[in-house]
Structure 1
Amino acid sequence: MQKAKGRKNGTLVFVAYKTYTHSAEDSMIDWSRVATLREEIGAEDFDDVVELFLEEVDAAVDELAAQQHDNDLESKLHFLKGSALSLGFQSFSELCQAGEKTAAMNQDTIIDLQEILHCYTQSRTVFVNDLPDKMAG
């Protein structure tokens, strides 16, 4: 557990967040969320939604990597958090949420963007590789 501290509106604030090391039992993807989304939108539209999600998040992650720490970091992490939650990218979403909270305290420089970017890359790989097997049947 790591902690970030900073001031917001003159008040000292602490935000605790996890750093992730993934083992076999620590899933990066919430497959039940993925299955629920597939049921909600239908199997025939699911592939299109996944493709659109990956395109939009890939672009946002590329932009984040290129700009690194900037004055819009909080909103970028907020967007990524919401997008990640919608398609079950659990670990990535949690890192984005922790980063968003830290950015809200004007502590952008202590956010480990490389960890967030690496988590997305790992999550995306797991998702793309495991999706056919997880959604079969």
Structure 2
Amino acid sequence: MNWGSDVIDWSRVSELHEEVGDDALGEVLELFSSEVAEGLARLAQANSATAIAAEFHFLKGAALNLGLDEVAQICAKGEENARNGVMTEAQRLAVTEQFPASCQELSSQWRDRIGAN
């Protein structure tokens, strides 16, 4: 799957940059990446609808905070499916692939994309 720059809401990243500052944004992104990795691991291990929905909900919040709208949509669908007793494997696979890729793109491009020093 090819994810372009439209995967990231750069205006949200710019807002986050304004909130925390130039030096802190890199640290914030590292922290989020670590939390996302832990959330993805928990999602992979989750075996009840409640646990799956909770992990998708957590990951959705992280994605929205980072401006990863497409990832957030996948998480929202996974959360909804889990709550409704519908299979979530497609969303699990998609978020497991796309979230780390989006975080990597965000980490490597944010300075250039939002004009930070």
**Fold match by TM threshold 0.5:** yes
Q: How many residues align?
A: 114
Report what 2:83 is aligned to.
104
Report what 1:3 is aligned to.
none
- Please tell me the residue identity of whatever aligns with 2:72: S
Structure with the bigger percentage of strand? 1
Q: CA RMSD in A?
A: 2.0
Report what 2:8 is aligned to.
29
Secondary structure of 1:106's aligned partner? coil
Report what 1:64 is aligned to.
43
Unaligned runs of 5+ in 1: 1-20
Secondary structure of 2:7's aligned partner? coil
Note the alpha carbon deviations across 1:81-130, whole angstroms, 9 max, x for none: 001100111111110011111111122x2441111211113212221221
Unaligned runs of 5+ in 2: none
Please state how far the C-alpha of 1:23 moved relative to its aligned partner: 5.7
User: Which structure has the larger Rg?
Assistant: 1
2:53–2:79 Cα contact (<8 Å) kept: yes
Please state how far the C-alpha of 1:73 moved relative to its aligned partner: 0.4
2:33–2:100 Cα contact (<8 Å) kept: no
In the superposition, relative to structure 1, how do residues 23 and 75 fare at CA in structure 2: closer, same or farther (>3 Å)?
closer
Q: Are 2:95 and 1:116 equivalent residues in the alignment?
A: yes
Q: Which of 26, 39, 42 is the aligned partner of 1:47?
A: 26
Report what 1:87 is aligned to.
66
Q: Which runs of 4+ in 1 moved over 6 A?
A: none
Give the alignment's TM-score, normalised by structure 2: 0.83
In structure 1, how many angstroms separate the alpha carbons of the residues matched to 2:31 and 2:108?
17
In structure 2, how many angstroms separate the alpha carbons of the residues matched to 1:48 and 1:23?
24
Report what 1:133 is aligned to.
112
Please state how far the C-alpha of 1:133 moved relative to its aligned partner: 1.6
Identical columns (%): 31
Deviating more after overlay: 69-78 vs 42-51 = 42-51
Please state how far the C-alpha of 1:68 moved relative to its aligned partner: 5.2
2:52–2:82 Cα contact (<8 Å) kept: yes
